[in-house]
């Protein structure tokens, strides 16, 4: 087992790597370094190492179907191959990871191209947490010469909103930073809400950073469009077969280190935004209704259902 897989899983668990895309990329990069350093002598032992890596990575964070789909796909390439030579198989792991990352990068560009069209001159865009995909859309719109402002929440308890705020400032965007509980006070001043996604279920509901569903309700109340930006591979196939997407519950210390011990402190990392509150899902295939995501998945990524 390459130490890097263990180290990567730990970094993911500690939020040193955050955001679904970054988590997925870190995970398959760890498989690449496993492929480079493996001492496995047989196909069977390489597969055993890969399976151990899969368990470590899957357990790093619960609500990460993009990472699970990515790792599964890479390992499937080895399982489906008739190759017996370990060096060849290790090369296959490396090349497959590379291919997956290229596909992910292409999706990101396509999403940015599509999403940027929804941003008009003079808009104020509301976002929550830090989504590298949302940031990329905003950067693209800016490059296209659009003039707009961003309002972002700080995103308690881990303050990922600060990453977004700094990114927006570095792009030269006029940016307003608010506490999460101020969302309703600002909803009337904005034009559109755009958030990322960690998971999309078969029914078209979206799992994203805790507070996203509250913001969706507020957007609905204020009659502002609420868009979710998501690569299709954030779809969780297990939800099609009845599983609920598991919501990661993090350590209470993230909220209040010195909290009285008898106090029940809860720290769910994500919540579920029901599809009825979502205007559209901006993905690499276009802007789709949440209800259509499963169908689009079947068409574009049939292997996810295998």
Of the candidate spans 3-11, 138-146, 190-198, 272-280, the one that interacts with ligand RUB by CB under 6 A turns out to be 190-198
Of the candidate spans 37-45, 131-139, 170-178, 182-190, the one that interacts with ligand RUB by CB under 6 A turns out to be 131-139
Instruction: Find the helix or strand (DSSP H, E) in which 151 lies.
Output: strand 149-153
Alpha helices in 80-211 (DSSP H): 86-116, 132-143, 161-170, 183-187
Contact predicate 130/155, CB 8 Å: yes
Per-residue binding letters, 253-292, with ligand RUB (x by CB under 6 A): ----------------x-----------------------
CA dihedral for 5, 11, 16, 18, sign (positive or negative): positive
**Where in the sequence numbering do the catalytic residues fall?**
129, 198
Q: Is 198 in the site for ligand RUB (CB under 6 A)?
A: yes
Among 68, 209, 275, 279, binds ligand RUB (CB under 6 A): 209
The pair of structure tokens assigned to 160 is 């990922």
Q: Is 201 in the site for ligand RUB (CB under 6 A)?
A: no
CA 167 from centre of chain: 17
Q: Is 131 in the site for ligand RUB (CB under 6 A)?
A: yes
Residue 244 C-beta: closest distance to ligand RUB, Å: 18
Instruction: Find the helix or strand (DSSP H, E) in which 178 lies.
Output: strand 174-178
Per-residue binding letters, 150-169, with ligand RUB (x by CB under 6 A): ----------x---------
- Residue 89: burial class (beta carbons within 10 Å; 0-12, 13-18, 19+): buried
User: Within the chain, what is the greatest distance between any pair of CA atoms?
Assistant: 63
Residue nearest to ligand RUB as judged by C-beta position = 196
Q: Which is nearer to ligand RUB, 54 or 250 (CB)?
A: 250
Sheet holding 270-273, edge to edge: 199-200, 206-209, 270-273
Interface positions with ligand RUB (CB under 6 A):
18-22, 129, 131-133, 160, 196-198, 208-209, 269
């Amino acid at each position: 087992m390459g130490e890097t897989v263990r180290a990567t899983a730990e970094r993911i668990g500690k939020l040193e790597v955050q955001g679904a895309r970054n988590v997925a990329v870190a995970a398959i990069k760890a498989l690449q370094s496993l492929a480079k350093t493996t001492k496995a002598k047989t196909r069977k032992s390489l597969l055993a190492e890969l399976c151990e890596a899969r368990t470590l990575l899957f357990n790093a964070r619960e609500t990460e179907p993009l990472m699970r789909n990515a790792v599964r796909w890479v390992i499937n390439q080895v399982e489906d191959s008739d190759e017996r030579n370990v060096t060849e198989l290790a090369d296959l792991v490396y090349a497959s990871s590379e291919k997956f990352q290229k596909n992910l990068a292409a999706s990101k560009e396509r999403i940015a191209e599509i999403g940027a069209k929804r941003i008009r001159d003079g808009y104020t865009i509301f976002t929550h947490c830090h989504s590298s995909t949302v940031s990329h859309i905003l950067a693209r719109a800016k490059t296209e010469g659009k003039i707009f402002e961003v309002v972002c929440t700080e995103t308690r308890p881990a303050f990922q909103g600060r990453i977004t705020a700094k990114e927006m400032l570095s792009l030269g965007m006029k940016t307003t930073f608010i506490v999460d509980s101020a969302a309703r006070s600002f909803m009337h001043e904005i034009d559109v809400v755009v958030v990322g996604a960690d998971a999309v279920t078969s029914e078209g509901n979206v799992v994203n950073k805790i507070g996203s569903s509250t913001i969706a309700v507020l957007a609905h109340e204020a009659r502002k469009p609420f868009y979710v930006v998501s690569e299709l591979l954030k779809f969780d196939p297990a939800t099609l077969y009845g599983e609920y997407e598991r919501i990661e519950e993090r350590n209470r210390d993230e909220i209040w280190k010195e909290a009285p011990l008898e106090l029940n402190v809860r720290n769910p990392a994500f919540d579920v935004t029901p599809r009825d509150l979502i205007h559209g899902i901006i993905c690499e295939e276009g802007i789709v209704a949440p209800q259509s995501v499963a169908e689009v998945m079947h068409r574009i990524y049939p292997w996810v259902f295998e």
